[in-house]
Structure 1
Amino acid sequence: MDMSTETAEISTLRQPLVDQTNSERKPPRDNGSLESVLTDSSLPSRRRLYLGACIEMKLLFRLALPAIFVYLLNSGMNISTRIFAGHLGSQELAAASIGNSCFNLVYGLMLGMGSAVETLCGQAYGAHRYEMLGIYLQRATIVLALVGLPMTVLYTFSYPILILLGEPETVSHMASLYIGGLIPQIFAFAINFTAQKFLQAQSVVTPSAYISGAALLLQILLTWTIINVMGLGLMGIAYVLTISWGFIVMSQTLYIITSPTFRHTWTGLSWRSLHGLWSFFKLSAGSAVMICLEMWYSQILVLLTGLLDDHALSLDSLSICMSISAISFMVSVGFNAAVSVRTSNELGAEHPKSAMFSSWMATFVSFVISLVEALALMASRDYVGYIFISDSKVAEAVSELCPFLAITILLNGIQPVLSGVAVGCGWQTFVAYVNIGCYYVVGIPVGCVLGFVFNMQAKGIWTGMIGGTLMQTLILLYVTYRTDWDTEVKKARTRLDIWEDKKDPLLN
């Protein structure tokens, strides 16, 4: 087959996907272009694999690249606050760092609970039950807002909590004031993450990237003005960060309400969103536990390192490695978002082969990218530390930790993608149990034994935690390999059918 024939064949298969972007028409039913390729027995298996890969790669990167951009920009907002606070003074920097770290609790909680709407909206969209997406969006926002209420109490009393944790009194006072200025963000997160998943389920990701980019620019300009012109200091930084998140929420909300693209998925406020809140909360709780356990795992590594004998050198080198790992992790998180959308959409559309193919394709692509990153890191291991610091001892310590960092990057190229598959299928509660066992029953205890008992220091702690991540990755690989995708399609159909009977969705 010549190139022109091949291009025409793929273009014909993709035509419905192009039509779907037309906002003036009702979203057409998917004709299963990827599914039709994978099930076409008239094509040789290698040909089916090639054509399927061409279709899936375009869909995957169209979702993953904007998602990566969004997560990088959102992280940049927190980084910029620390930069501005650092120019105010060391105590202000410490207060902002503590405040942002404490606020990661509610960030992870809301992000995790928001992934529940990702499962349901993705499967509903794949099944062309478009009116359900708006109901799920409202239901998720209500649940997350209710969960945010006790969080406001927790952060209102952050000062005595920080004192009990042993933080200096002056820094605790400044950090508590800073956290108080961030409290409205709790409810901004509740709206933002559910709206973001609502958009992702429909493969609409680029507008969120534009909104996040505009919010970052707004934050930088306002923070500079408030500090240098108005002289509001640390509290001004907190207020601007809250305003920036408010800008993101308002922009996304207006986009969803006013854009004709969503006139079939957003039909206005409905009393039906108040039904089945407890069932929705249970799935959301499983999602929150899954995400929070993963986010806290690396934080515990830093805390344990602070207890070592030469903790200053260990913390400096480890913080540099964690910064590199965090940047690499953003790529995997982008593929996590993309594969959860692709898997849930295909399951909802009753395309088991496409769901399986999407899962493994995303895992393979993310692994290849992480392999390139790990090899580049090892090639520059003697120099990478100097990007962050001029101290030769710290740079040498970073070089010694680079093999551990390279292994972590490789695992992070697989594990988050498999977690995305779990979100697409609705396995959040199962993965939460796996995380508890692998991270907190195996990884951390083994790391403590190696680090403190066998005196391997930071290398020992990191080795144990790598072991926990490796165990979790192998379990998820095995579960994904053994998955009966036809059964997953039936489960997705059951969830949606039960909703149409006006009962609580079967979420487990």
Structure 2
Amino acid sequence: MQRFLQAQNIVNPLAYMSVSVLLLHTLLTWIAVYVLEYGLLGAALTLSFSWWVFVILNALYIVLSPSCKETWTGLSASAFTGIWPYFKLTVSSAVMLCLEIWYSQGLVLISGLLADPTVSLDSISICMNYLNWDMQFMLGLSASTSVRVGNELGAGHAKVAKLSVMVVNGTSIIISIIFSAIVLSFKVGLSKLFTSDVEVIAAVSDLTPLLAISVFLNGIQPILSGVAIGSGWQATVAYVNLTTYYVIGLPIGCVLGFKTSLGVAGIWWGMIVGVLLQTITLIILTARTNWDSEVLKAGERVKKSANEDLSDMVETI
């Protein structure tokens, strides 16, 4: 539903709904955790409830808003026309994104097998939390990039699509440099927001240089992934993620984490190696892209979809 709205440049309503749900979620979490004393269970329940509120708000906006009256006319049998190509694209997108998400979560899981699992898990969880916050920011830019590139390719604007890629990448790199500088400048303060344990604070401080490197890479990798989604390269990127993350990055992290004295830092180095290789591969793919050819491919997809819709209408008549 979000992509459906973003594709029509309906962004501000999404932002208003997000802020409203965030405020509601904060209040409900405080009530569930501290007033009703449900603890972690209360936090989990309010998170699920807040997501459902967000889904319902999006659905109501699509159904009731005059902005969508021409693009959403209700359910019909034509929705299933050409569903198989879209299904394959959806599966490729899911695999591509899941491989990225599972990679970082898997490293957190593996860190629990280290010699001092309590400190290792605490430190990597705190750093991963900050990395996820940064990732959410960059995923917003990634989503806007995929929509913009897809729209421009569909409209036949090869140069504008290429310019969009360059502008968003430049912007995200500048933002990531600022975020990396903040991480390095406040490495002790960032850990104190989560814990007062001296040993954990020291461990987090040791990891912050690696966190800063990951934050910088996050200014490039998600944006290029957004370009891949907008260009329909999901299957290719899924293979790239599988190779760079699980065939190369994960084994390196395990070796450095368990066979050297680096510990949790070694596991994080494995993540950096995987993300770096994936980023380099995506840069090469993007740099070698013939945008005029991508426009032709996008036009063929649009034409094929239109022909299928027309045939469906004729059959209905």
Q: What TM-score comes out, normalization by structure 1 length?
A: 0.57
Q: What is the CA-CA distance between 1:388 and the residue it aligns to?
A: 2.1
Whether 1:471 aligns to 2:277 is yes
Q: How does 1:268-417 map to 2 (within 5 A)?
A: 268-417=74-223
State the distance in 1 between where 2:108 and 2:95 align.
20
Shift of 1:434: 0.3
Residues 444/203 of structure 1: CA separation in 2 closer, same or farther (3 Å cut): same
Alignment CA distance shift 1:357-1:383 (3 Å): same
User: What's the CA shift for 1:280?
Assistant: 1.7
Aligned counterpart for 2:246 among listed residues 420, 428, 440: 440
Partner of 2:315: none
Rounded to whole Å, the distance in 1 between the matches of 2:185 and 2:34 is 43
**1:277-314: CA deviation from partner (whole Å, max 9, x where unpaired):** 22221110000001111111111111111111122111
Please name the residue that 1:122 is paired with. Answer: none
For the 8 Å contact 2:82–2:305, the answer to whether it is kept is no
Aligned equivalents of 2:254 and 2:90: distance in 1? 32
Residues 190-209 of structure 1 mapped to structure 2, 5 A cutoff: 195-209=1-15
Matches for 1:27-42 after TM superposition, within 5 Å: none
Shift of 1:262: 1.9
1:99-154 Cα offsets, whole Å, 9 max, x none, are xxxxxxxxxxxxxxxxxxxxxxxxxxxxxxxxxxxxxxxxxxxxxxxxxxxxxxxx
1:388 aligned partner, one-letter code = F
Query: Which SS does the other structure have where 1:209 is aligned?
Result: helix
1:227, 1:403 → 2: CA distance?
A: 33
The residue type equivalent to 1:365 in the other structure is T
Q: CA deviation at 1:361?
A: 1.0
The answer for unaligned runs of 5 or more in structure 2 is: 311-317
Q: 1:252 and 2:58 equivalent?
A: yes
Instruction: Write the deviation string for residues 474-498 of structure 1: whole angstroms up to 9, x where unpaired.
Output: 0000110110000110111111100
Equivalent position SS for 2:206? helix
1:441 maps to amino acid: V
- SS of the counterpart of 2:187? coil
**Following the alignment from structure 1 to structure 2, what is the Cα–Cα distance between the partners of residues 254 and 464?**
44
Structure 1 portions without partners, runs of 5+:
1-194
CA RMSD after TM alignment: 2.4
> Could you tell me how far apart the structure 2 residues matched to 1:240 and 1:325 are?
23
**CA shift for structure 1 position 385:** 2.1
Instruction: Tell me by how many angstroms 1:220 deviates.
Output: 4.7
| Structural mapping, 1:236-247, within 5 Å | 240-247=46-53
Distance 1:231 1:296, change over 3 A: closer
1:236 and 1:408, CA in 2 relative to 1: closer, same or farther beyond 3 A? closer
Number of residue-to-residue matches in the alignment: 310
- Residue of 446, 453, 456 corresponding to 2:259: 453
Rg larger for? 1
The whole-number CA distance in structure 1 between the counterparts of 2:48 and 2:126 is 28
Residue 263 (structure 1) aligns with: 69
- Between the aligned partners of 2:112 and 2:123, the Cα distance in structure 1 is 12
Could you say if the C-alpha distance between residues 223 and 197 of structure 1 is closer, same or farther in structure 2, counting changes exceeding 3 Å? Answer: same
Report how far residue 386 of structure 1 moved. 2.1
1:209-247 deviation line (CA, Å, top 9, x unaligned): 222232334445556667888898877766655443333
The aligned counterpart of 1:141 is none
After the TM superposition, which residues 220-235 of structure 1 pair with which residues of structure 2 at under 5 Å, given as runs? 220-221=26-27
1:427–1:398: structure 2 CA closer, same or farther, 3 Å change rule?
same
Where does residue 229 of structure 2 map in the other structure?
423
Q: Is this contact kept in 1: 2:122–2:200, CA < 8 A? A: yes
In structure 2, C-alpha distance between the alignment counterparts of 1:238 and 1:377, rounded to whole Å: 28
